[in-house]
Structure 1
Amino acid sequence: MKLIYLTLLTCCLAGVTPLAAQQTVTGRITDPNNEPLIGASVLIPGTNAGTVTNFDGDFELTVPSLNDTLLVTYVGYETLREPINGRTEVMFLLREGALDLNAVTVTALGIEREAKALGYAVQEIDGEQLDRVKDPNLINNLAGKLAGVRVTGGGSGIGSSSRIVIRGESSLSGDNQPLFVVNGVPINNDNGNNGGGNGNMAADYGNSAADINPDDIETITVLKGANATALYGSRAANGVVLITTKSGAGKRGIGASFSSNTTFERPLRIPEYQNSYGQGAGGQFAFGDGFGAGTNDNIDESWGPAFAGNPLIVQHNSPTSSGLRAGDFAVRPRTEDGQFADEATALPWTAAPGNIEDFFETGYTTINTVALYGGDEQRNFRLSYSNTANEGILPNTDLSRNNLTLDVGQNFLDQKLRVRANANYINSSSDNRPNNSYGTENVMYLWVWFGRQIQMNSLRDYWQPGQENIQQFNYNYNWHDNPYFTMYENTNAFDENRLFGNVNATYDFTDELQLMVRYGLDTYDELRTGRRAWSTQRFPRGQYREDNIFFQERNADFLLTYAPQIGETFTATISAGGNQMTQERRFRRTSANELAVPGVYSFNNAAIPLVNNQFNSRRRINSLYATANLGFRNFLYLDLSARNDWSSTLPAANNSYFYPSASLSAVLSEVIDFPAAVSFAKLRAGYGQVGADTDPYRLLGYFQFSSNTYGGQLLGTEDNLLANANLKPERLNTLEFGADLRFLRGRLGLDLTWYNNVSRDQILQVPVSQSSGYGARYFNAGEIESKGVELLLNGEPVSRGNFDWRVNLNFTRARSTVNELAPGIESYQLSSNYLTVLARPGERMGDVYGTGFVLIDTETNERVTVDDVADIKDTYAHLYDANGFPVRDPNLRRLGNYNPDFQLGLNNDFRIGNVDFGFLWDWSQGGVIMSRTLLIGGTSGMMAETAEYDRETTDFIGGTTRVTGVSELDRNGVVATGDGTYVPNTTALSARDFYWSHFNRDNETVGMYDATFLKLREARIGYNLPREWVSGIGAQRIRLSLIGRNLLLFTENPHFDPEVFSYGGGGIVPGVEDMATPSSRSFGFNLNVVF
């Protein structure tokens, strides 16, 4: 590994040489009326040197040479190029101009193409947009900014994984996430093994794309359809995110930049809890020892005494006559018969309304980046270092990341040979990543069982006196761990070293013939360590584990390009190339599940034999591909491509698969004389096909060895999945039509896309007869069809000398439908994490199913099934049994779909002189999410819904007609008489029985919420310091800004952000919130300096 690091870094450093001195040019820019143009851009083409004019239209620019050329631009005006010709003072006049139609964008394999020639939809975001309001996770920066793209986060706090899906879900077996490509080379975006298993709960260690420093990004281009992604092969079936990093290419002279971004985070939304009743049962509680020696002190529910009247009750933190706390059971003095010899003092029984909010801390994120860059006609370089430091809103959670990026380029042989190399080294580490989901290792789990009387400060001293590293102090010892003990003693640490980059060389044989060769590498080693202290609920004698994770992917490419000069009427570019991708993964885990000496975390301290697990995999794909880009009179463009892959994970008879694509672009404004208001008009159409292989080792059965032995030999078991040696590749076919219209010299633009994707031969894992000895089998079946509409609207309503207003709107509506499954299979289960996600023929992808209460139509005396509260009629009533409890229907019913009906992002940017401000709204309409927090917190008496009625005086006779968030009493329940008729329910329940039965954790219907939300995703206000202020320190530009993220949230859900999903099984589980860490609202500032 060290040799690989040194080799790439040596290649990168090879071309760096000293560069020239610089001089200063001043000037003014005006319009034809001699009015100053404020904010006009002045730069040297191909360099980073640039500035903007002030209120008087004046500028000052440091240039490498007085022989350079200045490029002057202003929105709505002609672009001006003028040599300096030795002058130190210049004057420029700009006239209203036309639309620039020659913009280029990055496409597959890193090839730059004119945007007007593309027959498919692409969308590009420049680095400046990412830099405005940063999120440490690159993927989160894309939310709300791209049509056809949905970004969701896992509820794990800082550094948690994010899920990105382009144009809906098209696979029944994968996570539907796109391929990430940096500078033409694919990189890994996995989150690896989640650390679960062997008694441990899962922890979210983040997704790999988050390693990229946003400050290093030049542009991000999203390729959405198979006609755009076919050249990347089978891994691009779900789209491609192309990232181009900053370089020194085209630069002259030496430049430097510095940016500092600091934000402070607080929880955006936490659940609403009741503050009328405390811990206990039946209105009774008194602390004894936390195990049951007192009155209901082993109960973790909140059906205890009311706070009204402030009674005095012994509690876990009550002082004792021995000077200890009542909860210090291990050290309190005892009598001969084992009773406590000291006395505990009763304390006022009062609510602690902010106790859970008090547990959260103010987190912060600081990202500092410094970059040095420069170049001349023959060579260039860019070197940057970035440090990211996070402290989470949960105590003792953190994330540290150091990025070192080097990019160098060198021209040889009169620029016929161009060599470029870039390397990105990242060290990421954390002392603690929080656990997820339902269980004692997740501190969020505690909040649905946490007595409403508990003052959080009473638990901060979490060791019993003299029992450090041996026995924790807590309010309840039967079920839970002290929350501070969990966060500070039961930790999940990791340290990862990653290197990715590539070396490429391009040689021009002639002006028409070019060869590019490239080698890319992405590799990382990661060590994860887990510690569990003595007295932990899951590991009473402690635990220590280590996970060693290794990943490496190597890509070798070549591309031969021929671009003959065949006149002005026709243009042609023909390319042919190949790729070999080799991927290797290794996972090793060693666990000591009991420790002999408390507080010593070493395998040498294991009290019982160590447990070992491991997994290795390798795969390879060999590919050949070709493209042809044909043009006619700057009007008609035809793109053709073909690729053939040979995959090692498919059987020899089916491991070769071919897929083509074709797209057509017609620039109508080149041949039709539109009204003057129409500046540009283009229609496009495309068809493409992508094949997809499968994971390794699905063709033949294999044995898994354990650490157990028999007769001195390791024991092994055959995998429960029946392999299939006849698997075929999946196929995705895409048909796309679109239009690109621009008006008023480009001040108004409309881009509209309709697409239809059909995915066939899905590789499914379906159950088989138990008599076979296996649980399931892989085979090809199924068809999914995805349709959607994407709309982009860009406008510049105002463009004056001192005031600009730009607006961008993106709209997405996507639907994925299951057309068919295998013969004889009526449904296919995609997930069963508390909520069942099923694929059924004729139904949508993302449909969720669960159980609910039995409803009776009192007019017909028939059972009815209701999937949505809007469908309930006045004649419907819940069925209750003879004891007054609602009857649950065990049959699954459709509860909705976790995908939104549509998404809309609206971004506004304003500039007034040197001040700029903007905001991004993100609206997601429709979809559902099921809250486990509501279900469990409802049964435990914690949630606000359980105190809407007085528990002592209310006659709790069930009969609600609400489907979700049940808490209303309307007496509309019925009981069966036995003769097919029903009579009103009159049996009263206790408050605890009523809410426990209605918020039953197995009754998913009650936990459903509409996932609609409107969020102020980003907001900022910035100020560019005047040139005369900054020139004294040698700077060209200094910008200060105040920033905010997730500042406002509008949703009907009172308890959590519906954008936060559960995390489990190695990935994000859509449609489920399961004891998730709250998302954060952040405020802060940004400083950018360019020298």
Structure 2
Amino acid sequence: MKKILLVCFSFVFVISAWAQERVVSGKVSSSEDGSALPGVNVVLKGTTNGTVTDANGNYRLTVPASGGTLSFSFIGFATKDEVIGDRTVVDAALAIDARELSEVVVTGQGFGKEKRALSYAVAGVNADALAARPVNDVGRILMGKIPGVTINPTGGTSGTGSQINIRGYSTITGNTQPLWVVDGVPFSSATNDASGFTTGGTASATSRFLDLDPNAIESINVLKGLQATVLYGDQGRNGVIVVTTKSGSKKKRAAEINFQQTVAFNEIASLPDMQKNYGNGFQQLTNTAQFFSNWGANYREIDSVGHPYQFLTDATRRDPFARQFMFKRIPYEYSLDLGQFFRTGKVSNTSVSVSGGGEKMGITATIGYTNEQGYAPGNDLKKINASIGFNSSVTDKLSIASSLMFANTDFSTPPLNGATGGGAAFGGVPSLYANFLYSPPNYNINNTDLFPYETPVDKKMVWYRSGSDIPNARWIAAYAKETDVTDRIFNSTSLTYDFNDHTSLVYRAGYDYYTQRQNRSFNKGLSPTYAVIDQGVLQTQTITNTIWNHDLIFSTNRNLTSDINLSARLGGNARNDFYQRDGLYSEGQIVFGLLRHSNFTTSSSRSNAFGGRIFQYNQESQRYGIYTDLQFDYKNFLYLNLAGRNDWVSFLESGNNSLFYPSAGTSFVVTDAFTDIKSKALSFLKLRLNYGTSAGYPSPYNTRTIINSNARGFVTAAGGVIGEHTLSNNLGNPNLRGEIIQEVEAGFEAKFLNDRITLDFTAYDRGTKDLITDASVDPATGFTNTLLNLGKLSNKGVEIGLNATPVKLSNGFQWDVIWNFTSVRPKVITLGAGIDQIVLAGFTDLGNFAVPGRPMNLIKGTVVARDPNGNPIVGADGFHELDPIIGELGNPNPKYLTTLINSLSFKGITFSIQFDYRKGGKMYASTPSALLARGVLAPESVLNRDLAFIAPGVKRVDTDGDGVNDGFAPNDIMLTAADYGFNLQFFGRNNNAMFDATNIRIREISLGYTLPRQLLSKTPIKAASISLTGNNLWYFAFGAPKYVNWDPEVASLGVNQGLGFDYLTGPSMRRYGAVLRLTF
């Protein structure tokens, strides 16, 4: 009986308890775009009763019958409370917490830190700034958007590299490009220039960050100072660009599909305005041999001239091809439209990403295809990008995250070697633009019926010069090409074990591998002037580069006292780099058009026409390091950061191969320490100060004298192999040490008017000692040079970033302003005893130099000789004499760079325009100087050809009648307009080719519209937007001669040290297009 009563009592108790509870359910979404939010914490307030939303944002939770309040919280969104009441369905829309997102940034080794705690400057861009642009080069998207970062394209050709410089220069012989880190793993951004040209690279070389897909990137943060980059050791000395991909992000994502389609067009940005009064010739005369310049007769004076092909001197070109032009007369008139040579390149980019997951797992996959034509014929870029990534909680303590990326990049272009406008391009290699821009205006290169560019049978090049010594650009575009095809695999995988809420251990492994196949080819028949290339040449080169990177990081976060918190990390890193290069060079083409090495008479593993490089080269290096990062937090307003790294490297000898880089910094949030000063006028103020160090190491194999072994030095037509073994010209230095780089940085961050204005100011002073210097050695030793630790370098700068919202109305209209300012002052302090200068890029008589006491990258070259009073000296021929010693031509470093971005938004409509301004900096520019000297510019910018001219200066005179010129008198030697313009504008006098590079441009303009969600509510589309954009639509160079339309934003010497040179590597490009984005 007691058992029966007990069972009945229990039954009644259960029914009573059940009657006091009920189940509520609902869906949690983003208030911004309505997308479902998985992994949101849903907790009954005041209890531990809770759950998380599933992959579709849905949840179910048992709550008391009386209801209560549900609290919805998720990283990156503002927490929201909902009273249950008598509802059984409780939905919630969470708003993005802009304050929370802005406070956490990705820093060294991928650690997320509160921005308020950082003692150094950091800046970045988000996915929207990257994806909504019709630009496929991540580097060029960043132009002007981050203070302290300077980006110069090597030319206007699609796919060519970009020179990226962060806070100036810290070395004179080493790499100056920043480290790229993708999902926590180093990512090679090398150019691997195939030419062997020793001037910093070529304009056609690609940068390997081109392999990245902008549409697959979640965010980019740029670490600029040495304290910010200390955890990367010497690899971070030039700054670090930290890229987080969507597949590498650990964010939990709702199930959705994102589609993006870009259609754009590439055009040449500008061409010179041509004069239409004078034709080819000199001294206002025409000539059957056809002059190289355009100082010929006035069109009014001559009706017609003989066709230039009837005067060809090469018999193989003249007979029988040129006979059809015998006695043929053609009108002597302006007929050339340079623009017809170029095309409007079409660009298409398609990208699709799929994301989803559940409570403990998220996954994202992206695939994209790019097909881009440049404005130049033969310039094309094709890319295939695919990536997949996931993050998963294996257990409550163990989680794994991995991202895998594949890229295929196919780039092709006509040759773009630098040239001065005086004939062939550098190294005797023809270039598309070397002579094109000053083509004779009375010979229309685009009229291939009247002016064929090849003989019909053997395809030999023909053009207006009787000796066929000027390449026809159409022949170059058709039969000369450079290609670069790269296949790349990249992976980042990390395992995280959480011992408890405040202690964890992370192991991260990274793998970056690519194979790069480079071809350079010229079919035979170019010109007898180019002795080797005229026979036909083919160069193929294969490069494989592998990086294995491993990190093991222990992290803990503890409260030492009630006021002091410690966040500590201790890590170890191992990085192995493997580089291998092999190739083959052949000359003597047998069958025109067949570009296989078997179709050439001679082959070798040393390049002949392209710089003499030996192809066979293997390089291996190792770095092992340990690092620590300690952050002390006092009451959330005073922070002390101590960090350091010790590296052991394989490319220095024992005793010099270990180096420790310490750093320290503090951040003080004044408005939190002294709350009385906090107001609407000043809502936030933080002061920061830090000290950081790093190092610069030489490339491997410089501490020991090595033998160059080339097993396949020459291969005969019969297949015989001849090897060669030579002692290196470089004398090894076993005492070589790493460069020591130190930096002090100070700054502040302030917010005014309720965060409507944000100001970030930074000043820094960086110095490098023990510069690794390439010093000459007495040739009697059997060597020519060696590396020594000599000299010091100084680099000071200021960076300012201003964000403001001048207008924000209740109806949704908002005006935002971004202003960035960068000023860098690099200076060479000393170079060591006996060394007065070092060539950094270019040539020994014209290039960038390091000179003690002068700005870094000083341009030096030939200058006009001057008398003791500084007057130019004029020779007996009426031309300025040259000083036998080269002199300073100018400082290529700009005084400052500034960017202004205005953005307007109203009810889904957005408009943005970006202006960039560069003040100062000198450039040696072949484009304007060659156009002036060759006499092709509009009449207002050239001389009156009917007058005589006198060169300014003094001439040498005999003052005492002894027959010796021993004094000077004002010059009175008259010159024709042709002699004056041709000889005094450019040739032989480098100082006349110097121009001020000050310029302003519209870098970017965009107009976008996002459809209201209400219009899409009954469709499978969650969000839709379209934007129209344009890049480099307008610019003005203040120092350019009128009618040249010259763009000084070019780095013709490649992406490394060279600065301030324009070597006719092609006009800049403008782009306009549309981007459609859909979310399902």
- The amino acid of 1:680's aligned partner reads F
Matched residue, 2:266: 265
SS at match of 1:630: strand
Once the two structures are superposed, residues 976-1005 of structure 1 have per-residue CA deviations (whole angstroms, 9 ceiling, x without a partner) of 445654333222223332223202433111
Q: Which residue of 1 aligns with 2:110?
A: 110
Comparing 384-393 and 309-318, the one that deviates more: 309-318
Match of residue 658, structure 1, among 657, 660, 668: 660
What residue number does 1:312 align with? 304
**Aligned pair partner of 2:928 in 927, 931, 934:** 934
**Conserved? CA contact 1:193–1:1066, under 8 Å:** no
Provide the rounded CA distance (Å) in 1 between the counterparts of 2:387 and 2:756: 37
Q: Where does residue 681 of structure 1 map in the other structure?
A: 685
Instruction: Give 3-state SS (helix, strand or coil) of 1:825's partner.
Output: coil
Alignment correspondent of 2:917: 923
Asked if the contact 2:155/2:203 (under 8 Å) is kept, the reply is: no
1-structure distance, mates of 2:474, 2:375: 13
Matching residue within 310, 332, 348 for 1:349: 332
Q: 1:587 to 1:25 in 2, by over 3 A?
A: closer
Q: 1:822 aligns with which of 811, 829, 832?
A: 832
Answering whether residue 147 of structure 2 is matched by residue 142 of structure 1, we say no
1:16-55 → structure 2 map (5 Å cutoff): none
Counterpart in 2 of 1:967?
none
**In the alignment, what sits opposite 2:367?**
385
How has the CA–CA distance of structure 1 residues 329 and 1070 changed in structure 2, closer, same or farther, with 3 Å as cutoff?
same
**Equivalent-residue separation in structure 2 for 1:878 and 1:474 (angstroms):** 39
- Give the Cα–Cα distance (whole angstroms) in 2 for the partners of residues 465 and 745 of structure 1: 70
State the distance in 2 between where 1:894 and 1:371 align.
54
Choose from 863, 879, 887 the match for 2:869: 863
Aligned mates of 1:705, 1:313 — CA distance in 2? 58
Distance in 1 (CA, whole Å) between partners of 2:476 and 2:324 is 30
CA change 1:466–1:350 in 2 (3 A) is closer
| CA RMSD, Structure 1 to Structure 2 (Å) | 3.3
Judge conservation of contact 1:101–1:116 (CA < 8 Å) in 2: no
Q: Which residue of 2 aligns with 1:839?
A: 850
Amino acid at match of 2:403: N
Change (3 A) 1:71 1:1081: farther
Say how many residue pairs are matched: 993
Q: 1:685 to 1:341 in 2, by over 3 A?
A: closer
What is the DSSP-based 3-state SS (H/G/I as helix, E as strand, rest coil) of the residue aligned with 2:770?
Answer: strand
After TM superposition, give the deviation of residue 911 of structure 1 in Å: 0.6
1:422 maps to 2:403: yes
- 8 Å contact from structure 1 (residues 437, 1062) kept in 2: no
In structure 2, the CA distance between the partners of 1:708 and 1:110, relative to structure 1 (3 Å rule), is: closer
925 and 1064 in structure 1: CA distance in 2 versus 1, 3 angstrom threshold: closer
State the match for 1:777 in structure 2: 786
Q: Which among 693, 696, 704 is matched to residue 697 of structure 2?
A: 693
Q: Which amino acid aligns with 2:169?
A: E
Contact 1:528 1:546 in 2 (8 A): yes
What amino acid does structure 2 have at the position aligned with 1:688? G
1:98 is displaced (CA, Å) by 11
In the alignment, the residues of structure 2 paired with residue 71 and residue 427 of structure 1 have an alpha-carbon distance, to the nearest angstrom, of 43
CA offset at residue 273 of structure 1? Answer: 3.6
**Which residue of structure 2 aligns with residue 123 of structure 1?**
123
Is contact 1:651-1:725 (8 Å) kept? Answer: yes
The aligned residue for residue 950 of structure 2 is 957
Contact 1:835 1:1072 in 2 (8 A): no
Q: CA deviation at 1:519?
A: 0.9
Q: For the residues of structure 2 that align with 1:1090 and 1:712, how far apart are their CA atoms?
A: 60
From 458, 471, 482, the equivalent of 1:481 is 471
**CA deviation string 1:2-52 (max 9, x = no partner):** xxxxxxxxxxxxxxxxxxxx998899x9xxxxxxxxxx6766667899xxx
For residues 518-529 of structure 1, the aligned pairs below 5 Å read 518-529=508-519
Match of 1:751 in 2: 760
Alpha-carbon shift at residue 792 of structure 1 (Å): 1.3
For residues 578-608 of structure 1, what are the alpha-carbon distances to aligned partners after superposition, in whole Å with 9 as ceiling and x for unaligned?
1111111111121111112222221221223
CA distance in 1, matches of 2:72, 2:138: 32
For 2:224, the equivalent position in structure 1 comes to: 224
Identity %: 26
Alignment partner of 2:491 out of 477, 501, 509: 501
In the TM superposition, what is the alpha-carbon distance from 1:89 to its structure 2 partner? Answer: 9.0
1:1019-1038 correspondence runs (5 A)? 1019-1038=1005-1024
Distance 1:458 1:651, change over 3 A: same
Match of 2:990 among 987, 999, 1004: 1004
Number of the residue aligned with 1:370: 352
| Alpha-carbon separation, structure 1, partners of 2:456 and 2:646 | 66
Q: Which amino acid letter does the alignment assign opposite residue 432 of structure 2? A: V
Deviation readout 1:523-542 (Å, 9 max, x if unpaired): 10111222211212332221
Q: Which moved more, 1:939-948 or 1:472-481?
A: 939-948
Query: Is 1:881 aligned with 2:875?
Result: yes
* Residue of structure 2 equivalent to 1:209: 209
Counterpart of 2:447 (choices 433, 448, 458) is 458
1:54 maps to what in 2? Answer: none
The 1:939–1:402 alpha-carbon spacing in structure 2 relative to 1, beyond 3 Å, is same
Cα distance in 2, alignment partners of residues 308 and 23 from structure 1: 86
**Cα distance between partner residues in 2 of 1:928 and 1:554:** 42
Distance (Å, rounded) in 2 between the aligned partners of 1:986 and 1:692: 56
What is the rounded CA distance, in whole Å, between the counterparts of 2:821 and 2:555 in structure 1? 37
What runs of 5+ residues in structure 1 fail to find an aligned partner?
1-21, 30-39, 50-61, 287-294, 319-324, 857-861, 865-876, 960-971
Q: Give 1:712 shift.
A: 8.6
Query: 1:92 and 1:339 mapped to 2: Cα distance?
Result: 79
By how many angstroms is 1:1025 displaced? 1.4
Pair 508,468 (structure 1): closer, same or farther in 2 beyond 3 Å = farther
For the structure 1 residues 730 and 48, does the alpha-carbon distance in structure 2 shift closer, same or farther, using more than 3 Å as the test? farther
1:128 is displaced (CA, Å) by: 1.1
TM-fit CA distance, 1:1065:
6.8
Q: Give the drift of 1:854.
A: 3.1
Match of 1:397 in 2: 379
Q: Secondary structure at 1:139's aligned position in 2?
A: helix
Q: Which amino acid aligns with 1:362?
A: T
Cα distance change of structure 1 residues 229 and 981 upon mapping to structure 2, 3 Å threshold? same
CA distance in 2, matches of 1:111, 1:496: 31
- Quickly say closer, same or farther: Cα 1:470–1:433, change in 2 above 3 A: closer
2:416 paired residue number: 435
Deviation at 1:610, TM superposition (A): 3.8
Shift of 1:974: 4.6
- Larger displacement relative to structure 2 (1039-1048 or 814-823): 814-823
Measured after TM superposition, the shift of residue 341 of structure 1 is 8.3
Q: Cα distance, 1:841 vs. partner? A: 2.2
In the other structure, the counterpart of 1:163 is 163
Aligned in 2, Cα 1:484/1:101: closer, same or farther, shift over 3 Å?
Answer: closer
Q: Which shows bigger deviation, 991-1000 or 176-185?
A: 991-1000
TM-superposed CA distance for 1:561, in Å, is 1.2
**What is the DSSP-based 3-state SS (H/G/I as helix, E as strand, rest coil) of the residue aligned with 1:698?**
coil
1:894 CA drift (Å): 2.1
Contact 1:147–1:812 (8 Å) recurs in 2: yes
2:78–2:94 Cα contact (<8 Å) kept: no
Tell me the distance in 2 between the aligned counterparts of 1:629 and 1:806. Answer: 34
> In 1, are the aligned partners of 2:461 and 2:475 still within 8 Å (CA)?
yes
Work out which of the residue numbers 1066, 1070, 1075 in structure 2 matches 1:1086.
1075
Q: Do the aligned partners of residues 89 and 557 (structure 1) sit closer, same or farther apart at CA in structure 2, a change above 3 Å counting?
A: closer
The Cα of 1:684 is off from its aligned counterpart by 0.9
Shift of the 164–104 alpha-carbon distance from structure 1 to 2, 3 Å rule, reads same
Task: Give the 3 Å change call, closer, same or farther, for CA 1017–660 of structure 1 in structure 2.
Answer: same
Question: Deviation of residue 206 (structure 1)?
Answer: 0.8
**What code does the residue aligned with 1:863 have?**
N
Deviation at 1:850, TM superposition (A): 2.2
> 1:307 corresponds to which letter in structure 2?
Y
Check 1:1057–1:629 CA distance in 2 against 1; reply closer, same or farther (3 A cut).
farther
Relative to 1, partners in 2 of residues 1:330 and 1:244: Cα closer, same or farther, differing over 3 Å?
same
Shift of 1:1017: 0.7
Residue identity in the other structure for 1:787: K
Once the two structures are overlaid, the 10-residue window that deviates more, 247-256 or 216-225, is: 247-256
The aligned amino acid for 2:1009 is: Y
